[in-house]
């Protein structure tokens, strides 16, 4: 099949490698995994994912509704701040609703229908390379800090959430923080049915000590007789997708600059947010050095600088790898650039064009 660039290509075979590890964790220690839709919501692969995962977790009413409609299974609904109308709506299709503050809990829990109620706790420990994403950063609004206030509302709760990791591949750090949570909140956990340890844990990486991870979770669960949930996002979809682009022009300003038919601002926004370069598989060891840039009007719309084994030319294909997480959920219409299509390579090798965005989609996004 001839595909018009740019497009996101999700590879189910690569996705399956991560899903099997997630299933292995559940079989080894009983920890359930719910997909973090804030990271990845491409429901064209949900039929595969739901065979290996226990449900979804959300950050808004729309995400919770999507999880219910397209994934099924458990739906965890969290939001930094709900309105009364949103809580009433989400309670129709969520299994668990997790509040961010005691104020929200007290104000809104009476409007919930047949859902288990949880509360997010800020344990004051975290792991993140970026202050922007650190849930325990100074003046963080994410989660309850005061343990005394927590104890006063414990009778309303069936569970709590500790989301304290961001891109954490350091097992020792995770283990030490779990020990700290056990010491600090053990009396709370013993009175609850479930606890979510959030996402941001890179336990599907090739070099991650997954058996030690399972042992730690199993000990934690048994100690407090509690069901453990994980909320993986990146860990589910890491290395499973590419953004496929084509070189439209090559200009020179002290360095050769290849301009592709995509944009960091519009299609891989986290590169700008966290000041990182995109990854490409063909990078390394080549003679020919190029800066690869997007085609938006933003001067800093740069994917990165790479060395290629052969010269680039107009029409050359450049594939940015690890392009599943926080890409499709953040894509936007900046400059009116056409959004990349969403394409899936199925387990049997067949190619499915799931979505092609057109001018009408651009128009409908505006008023």
Interatomic CA distance for residues 192 and 224, integer angstroms: 9
At residue 2, the pLDDT reads: 82
At residue 113, the pLDDT reads: 85
DSSP letters spanning 32-89:
EEEEETTT---GGGHHHHTTT--EEEESSHHHHHHIIIII-SEEEEE-SS--HHHHHH
Q: Which CATH fold would you assign to the domain 12-237?
A: TIM Barrel (3.20.20)
Interatomic CA distance for residues 328 and 339, integer angstroms: 9
* Cβ pair 255, 290 in contact under 8 A: yes
Which residues does 229 contact at the CB level (< 8 Å), separation at least 6?
31, 32, 33, 34, 54, 76, 194, 195, 196, 197
Q: Which CATH superfamily is domain 240-364 in?
A: Lyase, Ornithine Decarboxylase; Chain A, domain 1 (2.40.37.10)
Burial bucket for residue 79 (CB in 10 Å: 0-12, 13-18, 19+): buried
Residue 144 CB neighbour total at 10 angstroms: 20
Same fold, 12-237 and 240-364: no
- What are the boundaries of each domain within the chain? 12-237, 240-364
Burial bucket for residue 319 (CB in 10 Å: 0-12, 13-18, 19+): middle
Interatomic CA distance for residues 76 and 96, integer angstroms: 5
* Cβ pair 259, 249 in contact under 8 A: yes
Q: How far is CA 347 from the centre of its chain?
A: 22
What SS3 class is residue 219?
A: helix
Return per-residue pLDDT of the chain as tens, 367 residues. Answer: 689 999 999 999 999 999 999 999 999 999 999 999 999 999 999 999 999 999 999 999 999 999 999 999 999 999 999 999 999 999 999 999 999 999 999 999 999 988 999 999 999 999 999 999 999 999 999 999 999 999 999 999 999 999 999 999 999 999 999 999 999 999 999 999 999 999 999 999 999 999 999 999 999 999 999 999 999 999 999 999 999 999 999 999 999 999 999 999 999 999 999 999 999 986 667 899 999 999 999 999 999 999 999 999 999 999 999 999 999 999 999 999 999 999 999 999 999 999 999 999 999 999 8
């Amino acid at each position: 099949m001839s595909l018009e660039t740019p497009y996101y290509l999700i590879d189910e075979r690569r996705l399956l490698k991560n899903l099997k590890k997630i299933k292995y964790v559940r079989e080894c220690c009983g920890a359930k995994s719910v997909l973090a839709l804030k990271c990845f919501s491409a429901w064209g692969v949900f039929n595969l994912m739901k065979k290996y995962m226990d449900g979804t977790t959300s950050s808004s009413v729309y995400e919770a509704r999507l999880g219910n409609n397209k994934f099924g299974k458990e739906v965890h609904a969290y939001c930094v701040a709900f309105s009364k109308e949103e809580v009433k709506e989400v309670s129709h299709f969520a299994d668990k609703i997790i509040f961010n503050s005691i104020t929200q809990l007290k104000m809104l829990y009476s409007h919930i229908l047949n859902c288990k109620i949880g509360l997010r706790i800020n344990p004051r420990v975290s792991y993140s390379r970026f202050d922007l994403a650190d849930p325990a950063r100074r003046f963080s609004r994410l989660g309850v800090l005061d343990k005394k206030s927590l104890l006063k509302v414990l009778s309303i709760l069936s569970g709590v959430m500790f989301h304290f990791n961001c891109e954490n591949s350091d097992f020792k750090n995770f283990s030490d923080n779990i020990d700290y949570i056990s010491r600090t909140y053990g009396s709370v956990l013993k009175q609850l049915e479930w606890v979510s340890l959030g996402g941001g844990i890179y336990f599907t990486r090739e070099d991650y000590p997954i058996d030690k991870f399972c042992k730690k979770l199993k000990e934690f669960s048994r100690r407090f007789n509690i069901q453990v949930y994980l909320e993986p996002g990146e860990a589910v979809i890491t290395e499973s997708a590419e953004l496929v682009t084509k070189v439209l022009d090559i200009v020179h300003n002290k360095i050769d600059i290849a301009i592709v038919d995509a944009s960091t601002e519009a299609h891989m926004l986290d590169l700008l947010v966290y000041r990182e370069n995109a990854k490409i598989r063909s990078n390394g060891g080549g003679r020919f050095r190029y800066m690869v840039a997007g085609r938006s009007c933003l001067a800093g719309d740069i994917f990165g600088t790479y060395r290629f084994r052969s010269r680039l030319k107009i029409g050359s294909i450049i594939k940015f790898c690890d392009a599943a997480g926080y890409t499709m959920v953040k894509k936007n219409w900046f400059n009116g650039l056409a959004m990349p299509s969403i394409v899936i390579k199925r387990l049997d090798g067949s190619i499915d064009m799931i979505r092609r965005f057109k001018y009408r989609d651009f128009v409908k996004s505006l008023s």
